[in-house]
Amino acid sequence: MAGFQSLPGFRDFYPEDFSRRQHIFRVWRQTASAFGFQEYDAPVLEPLELYKTKSGDEIEAQLFSFKDKGDREVSLRPEMTPTVCRMVGAKAGALKRPIKWFSIAEFYRYERAQKGRLRAFHQFNADIFGEAGPEAEIELIALLVQCLAGFGLTKDDFYVRLSDRDLWFFYLEALGFNEEQSRALLTAVDRFEKMGDDAFKGYAEAHGALPADQKDKVLAFLKVKGLAELEATLAPFKSDKLSARLTDWRKVLAGLAAMGLGDFVCVDLAVVRGLAYYTGFVFEAFDRKGDLRALAGGGRYNDLVKKLGGPDLPAVGFAIGDVTTGLLLEQRGLAPAHVTAPDVYVVIGGEAERKAAFADIHALRAAGFKAEYPFRELAFGKQFKAASESGAKLALIYGGDELAKGIVKVRNLTDRTEHEVPKNQVIAAVRDSLSGD
C-alpha cells in the first residue's frame, strides 16, 4: 500500500503485539513490586544538557535532539539514568533509604538498524540510591535474574556477566598505567570482543604501542572467567585497594549463591560497559546461545547524582530492554498467545429483543464479564456461527419466545448443553456456568 509508514526503527503495536508487550511489562512490574521497588515516571523530553558528557560519546551521537519553539536545546530521552538521578537528587533528603525505584518507559536513540536494536524501545529501569555496599548489587542482580526467570526462562537460556571498572583501574594502576592510559585501555577492552586486536589501535595512536608483556597481562585479565581465577591473578599484587575489591566480589557472589542464583551469574572481566558514568561493578545479561544483543545492562554510578547538582549519593541500577527480551521469549516459545475470546456471546432475536438484551449486556460487563453481541440484526444461524468463532464459552439467547416467557436460554458452547434461566437471574447464571473453568 502506498502512503504513510512508520519511521525506521519505530514500531506500530497491533493488538497482538501490544498484548505481548503488556505481558512483558506485567512480569517486570510484578517482579519489581515483589522486591519492594516503587514505580515512578518522568518526562520524555529533557534539556539536551542532561545527556551531554554524562551519558558518553556513543549515546550523545545518537540523540534525537532539536530546538523547541522557545529556542531551548532539548532531546528525547535516550535512557532514564540521568533523569532519575536528577529526580532523586532534588528530594534526596526527604526520601526514605534505601531508595529503590523502578520505571517502565520508552526511549529513543538514533541507532543503526540491526536485529534487536531499534530507534524507539522500552526499558525496565531499576535503581537503588543511598547504599554504598555490595548489598545493593546483590539485590539488583537478583531482581534482574527474576525479571527474566519470571517468564519461564532458565539458567540455560540466559546469564549475567559480572565485571568491575574499579577492579580494572586498580589492576592497571598496579601494572603501572596512569589514569588516561587506563581509560584508553578500557575502551580497547570494551571493543575487544567485536574487533579483536584492532581494538588496541586507538590506544597505540594516543600512547604508543603496548609492550608485549603488558598486553599479555591485559588480555589475561580480560579472559578471567571465575572467582578463583580472579583471586589467583591478583595474588601477586600487594594492593589494599585490590584486596578490598575482592572482599566485595566475594560478598556479591556469595549473596547470589545463597539466593540460589549462582548458576545465573559468571565473572567476566571482558564486560566494561560503554556508558561514561559507571564507577564500580558493571554487569550485562545475555542469552546463552549468544544469538542476540544484550538483554540488559547496568552497574554502579556513584558520582552521577552529584555531577547533576544533587548530593553525594551512591547508586547502582540496570535496564532491561523489551526488544531483545521479546525476541528471546519468541525463540523459546514463551511468548503468550493473544487471547481475545469473550466469556459470553449474546444472540439477539430482533430489534424488539435488543433492548432487553442491552440491559443485561451492560450489567454483565459492569460485573466484569467479557460480553459481545452483533451490532446489526442477523439470522440466528449466523449469530451462532459468530458465537462459536469468537471462542465464547457461553451463548445467551434473547429470542421473542424466550422473553415472552420471562426467560433467557444459556447455551454452553463447549458441551452444547442448554438450560433456561429467569431473565432477572442472568448474571448469577453466567457466574455459575463459568465458575467451573
Residues of this chain that bind ligand HAM (CB under 6 A) = 79, 81, 109, 111, 117-118, 121, 123, 125, 127, 275, 294-298, 317-319, 321, 323-324
Q: How far is the CB of 81 from ligand HAM (least distance, A)?
A: 4
Which is nearer to ligand HAM, 316 or 357 (by Cβ)?
316
Q: Please choose, from the candidates 390, 397, 298, 308, the residue with its C-alpha nearest in 3D space to the C-alpha of residue 342.
A: 390
Which is nearer to ligand HAM, 42 or 294 (by Cβ)?
294
Which is nearer to ligand HAM, 77 or 245 (by Cβ)?
77
Q: Please choose, from the candidates 121, 116, 118, the residue with its C-alpha nearest in 3D space to the C-alpha of residue 106.
A: 121
Q: How far is the CB of 250 from ligand HAM (least distance, A)?
A: 23
Q: How far is the CB of 32 from ligand HAM (least distance, A)?
A: 13
Beta carbons within 8 Å of 89's beta carbon, 6+ residues apart: 305, 306, 308, 309, 310, 311, 313
Q: How far is the CB of 409 from ligand HAM (least distance, A)?
A: 52
Q: How far is the CB of 136 from ligand HAM (least distance, A)?
A: 11
| Inter-residue contact 89 to 308 (CB < 8 Å) | yes
The three three-digit cell numbers of residue 366, written as one number: 459492569
Q: How far is the CB of 270 from ligand HAM (least distance, A)?
A: 15
Which is nearer to ligand HAM, 49 or 111 (by Cβ)?
111
For cell 551531554, the residue is 52
Q: Which residue is nearest to ligand HAM (CB)?
A: 321
Which is nearer to ligand HAM, 181 or 324 (by Cβ)?
324
Is the bond preceding residue 374 a cis peptide, omega within 30 degrees?
Answer: no
Which is nearer to ligand HAM, 123 or 433 (by Cβ)?
123
| Inter-residue contact 198 to 204 (CB < 8 Å) | no
Name residue 338's amino acid: H
Beta carbons within 8 Å of 85's beta carbon, 6+ residues apart: 301, 304, 305, 308, 310, 315
- Measured over the CA atoms of residue 227, residue 228, residue 234 and residue 240, the dihedral's sign is positive
Query: Would you give the distance in Å from CA 119 to the centre of its chain?
Result: 16
Q: How far is the CB of 262 from ligand HAM (least distance, A)?
A: 22
The three three-digit cell numbers of residue 436, written as one number: 467451573
The three three-digit cell numbers of residue 418, written as one number: 442448554
Which is nearer to ligand HAM, 77 or 411 (by Cβ)?
77
Q: Please choose, from the candidates 96, 136, 125, 160, the residue with its C-alpha nearest in 3D space to the C-alpha of residue 32.
A: 125
